[in-house]
């Protein structure tokens, strides 16, 4: 038996939380409410079983709490994803762990990070057209094969998840962590890989102006990836909290705006005119070339759509949680681009001959897959202090509460140390 946090959705609770956190006060108290109402429980349960020989058991060293986890806990995630989830499951997909079984080329006891996507490879099925070309995050088979439905580890009943003392992972999901990389940095690799992926989803021309909405984990890492992989010109960041401002500056933001000021400030920076609709938020005729929505909120997406220039591009990096007015998309002829998880390939540049394999493939542009790049970024970037709140599983209510209020509390990433008592 192992100690694990288990998500057992009850529709009534799901809706109740959603209503409670939908108000202004509820939003501010989301941590408290989620802590008390979340369909989560700490249990002793059977260890997850290895579905095959190319799987290993993992002992998590640190497991991060992601925005998508929080969305799940306060009932704000879209029911759209329910077919790709199997119940009951243990959340946790940002993991640095130690392997407990021998695998070819990966001795037992190796320190690894995990690509959580449960694509054709782990599922032991014939690769779909996406997996065949190294684009696992688009896999069409996330409900089939040898493990239960689940878009990722952390949403799948059979694999277990990071918020526990033990889970299982397929060899193709694992990437060895260099000895020099601390656990605190390694646990950031998965979200960094997602950021690398999102930046690779669009062509960012040299000198292009970029707007980042949000300066939490997703926003900051997107900024990091933009400065690493593109020749973007000015990058403007919309940040709510003071510490985010300082961190964004450190990672190369040109200017950081408070949300309330963003339309005016961006207009000053990029030209154009500010428009005030009779109802609803201000928007620009003019604005940034490309925007990345990194908050996972409807307000953030709406801001992005309103502040990119005509013909510009909005990349949705945060998991969106509700609808927005798409009129600007239509009227300004915008491109709306989704960016989910990470892969081995890239933005449509790879041929069909790239196999699906555990080892990193080199992309057509000569760079590594998203995870490989993320590992080197995690080692080199100024990320000290990004994980400054680590909780044992037993204090999960505090951990979740802290994660909900992370921005306000000056924290970037909250994590569990499942081994801790």
Partner 1 sequence: MSRPGFVLEVDERTPPLLIHQGEGFRLEGLPLGSKVIYPPDSLPGIRDVNAAIRHALLHPHGMEPLPELLKPGMKLTIAFDDISIPLPQMQTPDIRQRILEHVLELAARKGVDDVELVAANALHRRMTPSELKRAVGERVFRAFFPEHLRNHDAEDKANLVNLGKTDHGEDVELNKRAVESDLLIYVNINLTAMSGGPKSVSVGLASYNSLRHHHNSHTLKHSRSFNDPPNSAMHHSYNRMADLLGGHVKVFTIETTMNNEPFPSAMSFLNKREWEWNLKDQASYLAVKRGNDMLPPKMRRKLWQSSYAPYGVTGINAGAPSQVHPLTLQKVHQQQRVEVNGQSDVGIFGVPFICPYNVNSIMNPILVTSMGLGYQFNMYLNQPIVRKGGVGIFYHPMPNEFHPVHHPSYIDFFEEVLAETTDPAQLEAKYEKQFATDEWYIHLYRNSYAYHGVHPFYMWYWAAHAMDHLGDVIFVGADRRTAGRLGFRTASTLGDALEMAKHTVGSSPEISYLHMPPLTLADVR
Which residues are at the interface with partner 1 (CB under 8 A)?
A: 261, 264-265, 267-268, 271-274, 276
Answer whether 217's CB lies under 8 Å from 192's CB: no
Distances (CA, A) of 228 to 2, 69, 176, 200, 253: 40, 27, 22, 11, 12
| Residue 228 or 343 having the CB closest to Zn ion | 343
Output the CA torsion sign for 159, 160, 165, 171: positive
- Out of Zn ion, partner 1, none, what residue 346 binds, judged by CB under 5 to 8 A for its kind, is none
Residue 248 burial (C-beta neighbours within 10 Å; 0-12, 13-18, 19+): buried
| Residue 271 or 280 having the CB closest to partner 1 | 271
| Residue 160 or 272 having the CB closest to partner 1 | 272
Q: Which two tokens stand for residue 286?
A: 């003019």
The least CB distance from residue 356 to Zn ion, in Å, is 8
The least CB distance from residue 124 to Zn ion, in Å, is 11
The only residue of 119, 164, 270, 342 in contact with Zn ion, by rule CB under 5 A: 119
Residue 237, CB-side half-sphere exposure with 13 Å CA sphere:
32
The least CB distance from residue 267 to partner 1, in Å, is 7
Could you say which residues in the range 52-91 bind Zn ion, by CB under 5 A?
A: 66, 68
Answer whether 166's CB lies under 8 Å from 153's CB: no
The least CB distance from residue 264 to partner 1, in Å, is 6
Q: Where are the beta strands (DSSP E) in 27-105?
A: 40-45, 55-64, 94-99
Q: Which two tokens stand for residue 259?
A: 């949300």
The least CB distance from residue 266 to partner 1, in Å, is 11
| Residue 182 or 254 having the CB closest to partner 1 | 254
| Residue 274 or 379 having the CB closest to partner 1 | 274
- Out of Zn ion, partner 1, none, what residue 120 binds, judged by CB under 5 to 8 A for its kind, is Zn ion
DSSP string of 120-137? HHHHTS---TTGGGT-GG
Residue listed under structure tokens 């949000």:
214
Q: Should residue 131 be labelled a site residue for Zn ion when binding is judged by CB under 5 A?
A: yes
Q: Should residue 114 be labelled a site residue for Zn ion when binding is judged by CB under 5 A?
A: no
- Binding residues for Zn ion, per CB under 5 A? 66, 68, 119-120, 128, 131, 139, 141
């Amino acid at each position: 038996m192992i100690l694990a946090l288990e998500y057992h959705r009850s529709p009534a609770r799901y809706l109740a939380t959603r209503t409670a956190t939908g108000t202004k006060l509820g939003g501010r108290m989301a941590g408290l409410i989620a802590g008390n109402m979340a369909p989560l429980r700490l249990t002793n349960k059977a260890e997850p079983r290895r579905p095959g020989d190319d799987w290993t058991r993992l002992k998590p060293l640190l497991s991060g709490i992601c925005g998508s986890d929080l969305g799940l806990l306060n009932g704000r995630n879209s029911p759209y994803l329910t077919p790709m989830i199997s119940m009951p499951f243990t959340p946790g997909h940002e993991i640095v762990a130690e392997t407990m079984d021998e695998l070819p080329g990966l001795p037992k006891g190796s320190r690894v990070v995990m690509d959580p996507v449960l694509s054709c490879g782990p599922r032991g099925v014939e690769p779909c057209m996406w997996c065949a070309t190294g684009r696992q995050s688009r896999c069409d088979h996330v409900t089939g094969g040898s493990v239960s439905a689940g878009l990722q580890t952390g949403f799948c009943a059979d694999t277990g998840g990071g918020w526990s003392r033990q889970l299982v992972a397929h060899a193709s999901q694992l990437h060895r962590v260099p000895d020099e990389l601390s656990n605190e940095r390694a646990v950031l690799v998965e979200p960094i890989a997602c950021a690398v992926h999102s930046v690779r989803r669009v062509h960012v021309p040299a000198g292009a102006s970029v707007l980042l909405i949000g300066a939490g984990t997703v926003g900051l890492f997107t900024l990091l990836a933009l400065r690493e992989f593109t020749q973007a010109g000015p990058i403007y960041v919309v940040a709510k909290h003071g510490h985010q401002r300082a961190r964004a500056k450190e990672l190369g933001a040109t200017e950081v705006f408070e949300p309330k000021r963003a339309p005016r400030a961006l207009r000053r920076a990029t030209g154009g005119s500010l428009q005030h609709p009779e109802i609803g938020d201000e928007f620009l005729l003019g604005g940034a070339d490309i925007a990345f929505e990194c908050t996972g909120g409807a307000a953030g997406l709406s801001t992005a759509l309103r502040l990119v220039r005509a013909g510009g591009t909005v990349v949705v990096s945060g998991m969106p949680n509700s609808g927005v007015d798409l009129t600007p998309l239509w009227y300004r002829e915008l491109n709306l681009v989704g960016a989910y998880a990470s892969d081995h390939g890239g933005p449509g540049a790879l041929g069909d001959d790239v196999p699906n394999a555990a080892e990193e493939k080199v992309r057509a542009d000569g760079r590594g897959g998203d995870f490989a790049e993320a590992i080197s970024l995690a080692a080199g970037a100024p990320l000290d202090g990004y994980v400054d709140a680590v909780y044992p599983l037993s204090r999960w209510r505090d951990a979740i509460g802290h994660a909900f209020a992370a921005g306000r509390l000056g924290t970037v990433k909250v994590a569990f140390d499942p081994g801790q008592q």
